[in-house]
Amino acid sequence: MHVTPIAGTNPSRDSRRESRFGRATRLVWHVDEFRLYRYRLVELPAVSDIDVAIRRDHVPDLDLYEPSAPWWLPKPAFLSAAHERLAAGEHVYTYATAERLLHYAWLADRREDMVVYEVDQTFHYAIPGAMLYDAHTVPEARGQGFHTRSLAARLHDARSLGSARWAYVGCLANNHPSRSVIEKGGFAYYTSLFRRKTFGLASRWQATGRV
């Protein structure tokens, strides 16, 4: 995450040297951890009302997508992938204004495995279940609770639309905003997938936290 310095401060020479050292160290050696969480759907509390602002499978919202950074998919590629997922039976959850798509997130009713691109691994669930994934909020709309609200909507539908006993979700360990939303949403830690890179060579492993 990029952090903008507070106006008027000047980092010391030592802190700048440490920053350069940290960046150089990461080029030589670093470990990424992807944390997986799960939720037993039978334990999901009943809800008396549905958040109608988070819409399910509302295709016109997808047409309002605009990439917010160079690494976001171009619009044609985004729409192509979205329509392929919808055709495969997956569900998209969106929040949009009249001009722009501010948030989207996905639910697959039942999966036996998950491809985790962040650490170049595939994880096979011991018990197949619903998968909540690919949640994004445009930078200027973050901090307004969209991820929390779409997570709740997807959990509700994972129980009501499908036959899964478990719902799964994950994020990188250093993605603290997403971790906070997931953990506050009632998900329990399940396992971690790791990738270590040393001088460009990668090693991968999985450390389970199953109970």
- Residue 15 is predicted with a pLDDT of 36
3-state secondary structure the chain: CCCCCCCCCCCCHHHHHHHHHHHHHHHHEEEEEEEEEEEEHHHCCCCCCCCCCCEECCHHHHCCCCCCCCCCCCHHHHHHHHHHHHHCCCEEEEEECCCCEEEEEEEEEEEEEEEECCCCEEEEEEEEEEEEEEEEECHHHCCCCHHHHHHHHHHHHHHHHCCCCEEEEEEECCCHHHHHHHHHCCCEEEEEEEEEEECCEEEEEEEECCC
How many CA atoms are closer than 13 Å to the CA of 100, on its beta-carbon side?
A: 10
Structure confidence at residue 19 (pLDDT): 54
Mean pLDDT of residues grouped by 10 in the chain (211 residues)?
30 40 60 96 85 95 94 95 97 97 96 93 94 96 96 94 92 95 96 91 78 37
Q: Is the pTM here over 0.85, yes or no?
A: no
pLDDT at 2: 30
Q: Quick one: pLDDT at residue 7?
A: 31
The pLDDT of residue 161:
87
Domains of the chain: 46-208 (3.40.630.30)
Q: Are 156 and 7 in contact (CB under 8 A)?
A: no
Residues forming a β-bridge with 96: 101
Task: Give the per-residue pLDDT at 1.
Answer: 27
Quote the CA–CA distance of 209 and 211 in Å, as a whole number. 7
Query: Residue 69: what pLDDT?
Result: 87
Q: Identify the residue whose tokens are 């906070």.
A: 180
Instruction: Give the Cβ contact number of residue 106 at 10 Å.
Output: 19
59-61-65-68 Cα dihedral, nearest 10 degrees? -140
